[in-house]
């Protein structure tokens, strides 16, 4: 039995969210009349994430950030894996942007066997 799930995830910056999705290899589609539907219920979304050979995933603006909207019974991918990879990439881009705004430069970037990202930073003080 299929149903649409709306998950509130604190993605505050749309541009960073779209960049994170692009970095993960997903195409997005913007439009005024986009919906996630399961045949019975339909939820309006602001943009869709195209997933090859399966239903799309949607995002819509909520009062506390962007909400992930999908019918996970019709999306052929692991929900937790998708969410975790997206959260990690979004956090990486957010931290990188914040550090650059504070005058830091990333001099080295490493990813360990657990897929954790380690950054080495340098800051020039004038």
Query: For residue 71, which phi and psi values (nearest 5 degrees)?
Result: -100, 90
Sketch the domain layout of the chain as residue ranges: 5-123
Tens of pLDDT along 63-115? 888 989 898 888 989 999 999 999 999 999 999 999 889 888 888 989 889 88
How wide is the angle at C-alpha 93 spanned by C-alphas 79 and 82, nearest 5°? Answer: 5
44 Cβ contact partners less than 8 Å away, ≥ 6 residues apart? 34, 35, 60
Q: Residue 3 belongs to what H/E stretch?
A: none
User: 5 pairs with which residues across the strands?
Assistant: 70
The answer to whether the beta carbons of residues 73 and 2 sit under 8 Å apart is yes
Average pLDDT of the chain, as a whole number: 88
Smallest CA-to-CA distance from 73 within 27, 40, 45 is with 40
CA distances from 60 to 24, 75, 94, 116 (A): 19, 17, 19, 28
- Percent above pLDDT 90 for the chain: 42
């Amino acid at each position: 039995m299929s149903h649409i799930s709306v998950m509130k995830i604190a993605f505050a910056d749309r541009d960073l969210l779209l960049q994170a999705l692009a970095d993960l290899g997903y195409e997005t589609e913007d439009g005024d009349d986009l919906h996630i539907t399961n045949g019975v219920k339909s939820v309006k979304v602001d943009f869709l994430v195209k997933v090859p050979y399966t239903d799309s995933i949607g995002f819509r603006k909520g009062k506390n950030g962007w909400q992930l909207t999908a019918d996970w019974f019709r999306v052929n991918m692991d929900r937790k894996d998708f969410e975790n990879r997206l959260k990690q990439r979004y956090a990486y881009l957010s931290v990188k942007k914040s550090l650059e705004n504070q005058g830091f430069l990333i001099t080295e970037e490493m990813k360990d066997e657990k897929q954790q990202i380690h950054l080495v930073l340098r800051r020039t003080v004038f």
